[in-house]
Amino acid sequence: MIVCVCHNVSERKIQQAVDKGLTTMPQLREQLGVGTCCGKCHSCAKTVLRECLEER
């Protein structure tokens, strides 16, 4: 599933970033650009990030 349409970031891409050590929204924004364009993906990205972190 695509989380951030503006930057074409999928749930899987976020999962891979978390596997590499990413843990926060600012890091997600900085590294993948999530939420830096229209901002509509912010709450969805937050949920996905939390789920990924819980699965670790």
Using the rule CB under 6 A, is 32 a contact of ligand FES? no
Using the rule CB under 6 A, is 28 a contact of ligand FES? no
Of the candidates 21, 41, 12, 16, the one whose C-alpha atom is nearest the C-alpha of residue 29 is 41
Do residues 42 and 1 make contact, with C-beta atoms less than 8 angstroms apart?
Answer: no
In the complex, minimum distance from the CB of residue 42 to ligand FES, in angstroms, rounded to a whole number = 7
Binding-site member from 23, 26, 40, 51 for ligand FES (CB under 6 A): 40
Residues ≥6 apart with Cβ < 8 Å to 13: 32
Between 33 and 56, whose beta carbon lies closer to ligand FES? 33
